Every structure is written in structure tokens, then in C-alpha cells.
Amino acid sequence: MSQLPESMKAVVCHGPHDYRFEHIPTPKPGPKEVVIKVDGCGICAGDCKAKSGAQMFWGDDPWVKTPVVPGHEFYGRVVELGVGAAEKFHIKPGDRILAEQIVPCWECRYCKSGKYWMCEKHDIYGFQKTVAEGGMAEYMRFSERAIIHKIPESLSHKDAALIEPMACAIHTVERADIQLDDVVVLAGAGPLGLCMVQVARLKTPKKLVVIDAIDERLELAKSLGADVVLNPKTQDVDAIVKGMTDGYGCDVYIEATGAPVGVTQGLQMIRKLGRFVEFSVFGKETTVDWSVIGDRKELDIRGAHLGPYSYEIAIDLFERGLVTAEGIVTHSYPIEECDAAFALADSADSIKVVINP
């Protein structure tokens, strides 16, 4: 018989600007499913954009299917296992775990070829209730299709809360294919950007440049491994980067601002035959002169989505002290104060805000 309570505290998304603190039924595990007691769930920029209505649709299709408990940056401990779950996932009650944010279908052409993060069905925790609710709740159910990873007890709560963003950062940096003699420009020193700084530093490029409009974040980026930090509000960043590259421009440009200007700035700053990696989720369309990409510079444009095959690497890097959440995870709130948590997360007064159910 289940030992779980009948109801639990949760944040529920009912639509744009309509996120409510509620008591809802506690999930129960079905066959090969797992229920965890959530220890923490980060608020992503994508969550803030969904709350504002900017990311509620993917084309004409509703991306966020309400009502749903949001949150895809979660971790916690196993409290109950469905029949066969212990054997399938090699876990037991009390284990500290998290699941990747995507729930692959394992049946489409992408899943069958190992590209599960591009799953055609593309179920994501915290966006579609038909899969499973997200992590902004006391308890959370993992699907039998989930990809689950164990978290070492040695990792701090802050580090555990940053595993998902760090996995995304690792995948993005890998897509950049950074070489030892590359001048790399990373635009955006938000939570993901600051994770990318640490990972890119481990690739030991010739020069790692970080651009952001908030000086405090630039200072943190410097402490985490950036060689040069630039503020576009007070400096001519294009001229400076061109000046340090004999006028050619950077070899690699990673866009992590989520602002259209981050794209146009990068297309201007990058050298011919350079590698442009786009990670951000945008709140509105970005318009550029595509002839820059082809006729003028023949750029290699690469996207980066989620953190495939990167969670175990992220956990290992945290465990070895090669990356850290210190300075990045800046605030935590009890779930009852979700309104204040979201407001702070959507401001420049925080970097990463975590909800603790």
C-alpha cells in the first residue's frame, strides 16, 4: 500500500500570467514508474517566458498544455517504486536521483537512431501533463520512458540543482567544437552562460571572451574562467574582438542571451568560416540578413538543444570540483512563495532561483 500522502503542495500553470500555488493529488507510480520527493527545482528562463506567454506555442501548436505543474530542473529522492521500476532503473527507495527533462518515445526515427533528445513526440517534464507533471511540487512521478541518473551524496544542494543546466551547457560547448587556438566569444552570462564559461574553459581555447550587460555577472564570469569580459552598453565589443584577432573576428560565437541583438552581434563579430552556436530560447522572432551566413562568410551555424549524453559528465565534473554552482544559484524560496520566486527569477537581481518544495 502506498505511503504517499493523498495531496501535495504544487505550482500549477493554468495559462500565461496564471501560475498558482495549489494543493493537488499526489502522483502514484504505475508499472516501471518512480515517484520522488522533490528536494529542489530551478526556475529556467524558459519557464519565465512560458509564464509571460512568449513560449506557450511552438508554431501553431500549444507547447505548454495546461493545466500542468511546471519545472524541468528538478532533483530529489526515491520514495516509491512501481512494479519493475527498481529492476529497470537500478534504483531503490532513498536514492538521490534526477531524470533528464525529455521523456523520449523510443519509437520515432530520432529515438531509434540514438538522437533521443530530438524525439519527434518531444514530451518534456513541466510542459505537458499527459507525460507527467514537472518538478515544482512536493512529489514528482517519472515515466517508465524516463532517463534517470543517480546523484552522489557528496554533491551540494546547489550543485544538484544545476545538473540539468550544466548538462545543457556541456552539449552546447561540444557543438562548438572548440580548438586550442580558437578565440571563443560567449554572449550571455546568465545561468546557462555561466555554466558554459566553466565548460569552455576546460577546452582551453586561446582566448575566452564573455559579453553581458550586467557588470556583476561579468565579474563572476571572470572568476569562473573567462579571459576577457565585455559590456556592450559601455564598450564597442565588436571593435575589441576584431582588435584581438587581427581584424578577422572570433572563431566561435556561442549565443546564450535570448535576445535578438545577441544574434546580429554575433553575425557581425564572427570571422569568415566561423562556427556560430545558437542555444537560446527567444521570446520573439529574430530578423537577420541571411546573406551574411552564406554569401559573405560561409558560416557553420549549429543549434544546441537540451543536454543529451551530458548528465553523467556534468555529475562527474561537479564531483571532481571542476565546475561549481557557487555564485550561480543565488536564491531559494519555499514553494508557497512561488510568485516572489518567479518575479525574482525574471529580473536582473538574481541569477538562478530554486524552489524548495
132-143 pLDDT tens trace = 789 999 999 999
Instruction: Examine the pLDDT at 296 and tell me if it is beyond 70.
Output: yes
The pLDDT of 332-343, averaged and rounded, is 97
* Per-residue confidence band for 2, with pLDDT thresholds at 50, 70 and 90: low
Q: pLDDT over 90 for what percent of the chain?
A: 87
The pLDDT of 37-60, averaged and rounded, is 80
- On whether the CB atoms of residues 37 and 79 are closer than 8 A, the answer is yes
Which amino acid is it at 102? I
| CATH number, domain 166-303 | 3.40.50.720
pLDDT at 276: 98
pLDDT at 60: 53
218 vs 228: CA distance, rounded Å: 9
Angle between helices 191-202 and 163-176 (to 10 degrees): 50
* Per-residue confidence band for 65, with pLDDT thresholds at 50, 70 and 90: confident
pLDDT at 283: 74
Q: Where are the domains of the chain?
A: 7-162+325-356, 166-303
The pLDDT of 60-88, averaged and rounded, is 90
The pLDDT of 6-25, averaged and rounded, is 94
pLDDT at 140: 97
Second CATH level (architecture) for the domain 7-162+325-356: Alpha-Beta Complex (3.90)
The pLDDT of 153-165, averaged and rounded, is 98
* Per-residue confidence band for 286, with pLDDT thresholds at 50, 70 and 90: confident
Q: Write out pLDDT tens, residues 25-37.
A: 999 999 999 999 9
Instruction: Examine the pLDDT at 345 and tell me if it is beyond 90.
Output: yes
* Torsion-angle region of 355 (φ positive above 0: left; ψ -120 to 50: alpha; else: beta): beta
- On whether the CB atoms of residues 200 and 176 are closer than 8 A, the answer is yes
Instruction: Examine the pLDDT at 64 and tell me if it is beyond 90.
Output: no
Of 308, 304, 264, residue with least CA distance to 281: 304
- Pairwise pLDDT comparison (172 vs 51), residue with the higher score: 172
Give the pTM: 0.96
Instruction: Examine the pLDDT at 129 and tell me if it is beyond 90.
Output: no
- Give the cell for residue 61: 501548436
pLDDT at 53: 76
Mean pLDDT of the chain: 94
